[in-house]
Amino acid sequence: MKCAVILAGGKGTRMKADCPKVMCNVIFKPMISYVIDAVKDAGVRDICVITGYKHEEVEAYLPEDIKTALQEPQLGTGHAVMQAGEFIRAHSGDEILILNGDGPLMDAETINKAYEYHKSNGNSITVISAIVDDTEGIGHIKRDKNGTLLKIVEHKDATAEEKQIRESNSGCYWFNGADLIYALENITNENAQKEYYLTDSLEILISAGKNAGAYVVENSEVVLGANDRKQLNDLNNIMRRNINTRLMLDGVDIPCTDGVIIGKDVKIGNSTVILPNTIILGNTVIGSGCTIGPNSYLDNAVVGNNVILDNCKILDSEVEDGVDAGPFVKVRANSVLKKGVHIGNFVEVKNSVVGEGSKSAHLTYIGDSDVGRDVNFGCGTVTCNYDGKNKSRCVIGDGAFIGCNTNLVAPVEVGEQAYIAAGSTITDSIPEKALSIARARQVIKESWVDIKKPYKEKK
Ligand code: UD1
Ligand code: CA
């Protein structure tokens, strides 16, 4: 059975981050999550992550099926793998994949192709390599003049001549289990950084007469990692472009990608249009024929078909078919906008269900409420759901008509088809089909201005 070791113990000094480097985000997700996904997508299930610097933070993030081994202190990538001794010994008869946790562009296809190459050549070690332009900080793959592999030379240890070598180590390898154990026993720290380099395994296994190979990838981007914020931005740009491209090829219409950032796990149906400055994250699922954006932000939203979200923020909520929302709408956690709902400018919905066909066109707050179907909210309706201590719910029956500038002081129930006069502050529940007026009656004082002359004396 195949297995994998992912290196995530390093601090990542050059990132100047408070978190471990592998927890730095690419498209709003920690780099290590992409590496884990790639490994799992490649069909490798038994995974051990090496943690070290701020290990609690990495461990808390990892899915439950991932094993961990602690590296304390962090003395290099070879030393990191040594900490997984028990895991590796249990897999001594297997092929073991080792990857850097800071290389989020590595993909399942590359991992699997490298595995086939590894097996068909009977290799003890196969390093995944690529030809890159910028070799700063990488390990150079050194070959003899016939192209036969010799060793990996880290940039810091390389001679001026070796620094010219553009074939670089991705930090991703397939090892035969028993041969990996042998290599780990022979790695020393005699180098510029006084670290135990995993990369030395190549030369160690070649010297022991074993087969070694480099699987050179065509798309050199998959081997890129991030050591600092600039490289992190480069990875974000590549990841963003890759995701957008995949969606466009699946029929999503992105006429202009400016400011369009879509998470890797987001699913979008064909013929949906994504307009500029739109960020779609988490496990958001969007149907077909929708127009999302401009300037919208969706996180963990479930959106049906033919929905319009114009300048909307939708968080952890569901928006059913045919909803038309925006501009300037915020839907907060745990809300459902049922079919055909219309929510207009400056409306906020929180922890509420708004029933089919209900309309709230302007300036309204619907919080902690259960709203039936075909309810009409007048402009400026406010559910007063918080008394300073407790949150309470409003229940609004089907077909109710709520006049403009109504306050519904929760808990309160509005019966089906009941009417509320504009400007009412409702504190008592209203029976169905009743009209409720809760405001002072209008008073007219004739010629009041002439009598009182309240402002300034007329000349
Ligand atoms: C490493 C490779 C280099 C390769 C490059 C690709 C070595 C010696 N060098 O260099 O050949 O071109 O990756 O990106 O392996 N880590 C630990 N414990 C440690 C040190 C590192 O767990 O003691 C982890 C880091 O968290 C990181 C990964 O190992 O996820 C790689 O470490 P990093 O320091 O970034 O190695 P590079 O210098 O990039
Ligand atoms: Ca690195």
How far, in Å, from the CA of 11 to the mean position of ligand 2? 11
Left (φ > 0), alpha (ψ -120 to 50) or beta: where does 326 sit?
Answer: left
Cβ distance 173 to 164 under 8 Å? Answer: no
Which residue has the CA at smallest separation from atom 1 of ligand 1? 171
Give per-residue pLDDT as tens, 63-87: 999 999 999 999 999 999 999 999 9
Q: What residues have CB less than 8 Å from 386, skipping those under 6 apart?
A: 367, 392
pLDDT of residue 459: 58
> Is 362 a catalytic site residue?
yes
Distance 100 CA to ligand 1 centre (A): 6
> Which segments in the chain show pLDDT lower than 70?
454-459
Q: Which numbered ligand comes closest to the C-alpha of 84? A: 1
Decide whether any atom of ligand 1 lies within 6 Å of the 11 Cβ. Answer: no
Q: Minimum-distance ligand to the CA of 172?
A: 1
Dump pLDDT digits (tens) for 226-283: 999 999 999 999 999 999 999 999 999 999 999 999 999 999 999 999 999 999 999 9
pLDDT at position 1 is: 87
Are 438 and 426 spatial neighbours (Cβ–Cβ below 8 Å)? yes
Tell me the ligand closest to 224's alpha carbon: 1
Strand partners, 167: 131
From the CB of 235, is ligand 1 less than 6 Å away? no
What is the distance between the alpha carbons of residues 366 and 426, in angstroms, rounded to a whole number? Answer: 15
Dihedral angle at the C-alpha atoms of 240, 241, 247, 253, nearest 10 degrees? Answer: 110
What is residue 102's predicted lDDT score, i.e. its pLDDT? 96
**Ligand 1 contact, 169 CB (< 6 A):** yes
137 neighbors 197 (Cβ within 8 angstroms): no
DSSP 61: H
For residue 171, the CA-to-ligand 1 centroid distance in Å is 7
Answer yes or no: is the C-beta of 30 below 6 A from any ligand 1 atom: no
The whole-model pTM stands at 0.93
Cite the beta strand spans of 293-402 per DSSP E. Answer: 297-299, 302-303, 308-309, 312-315, 318-319, 324-325, 329-331, 336-337, 342-350, 353-354, 359-367, 369-371, 376-377, 382-384, 394-396, 401-402
Residue 80 beta carbon below 6 angstroms from any ligand 1 atom: yes
For ion ligand 2, residues whose CB falls within 5 Å: 102, 225, 227
Q: Whose CA is nearest to atom 33 of ligand 1?
A: 10
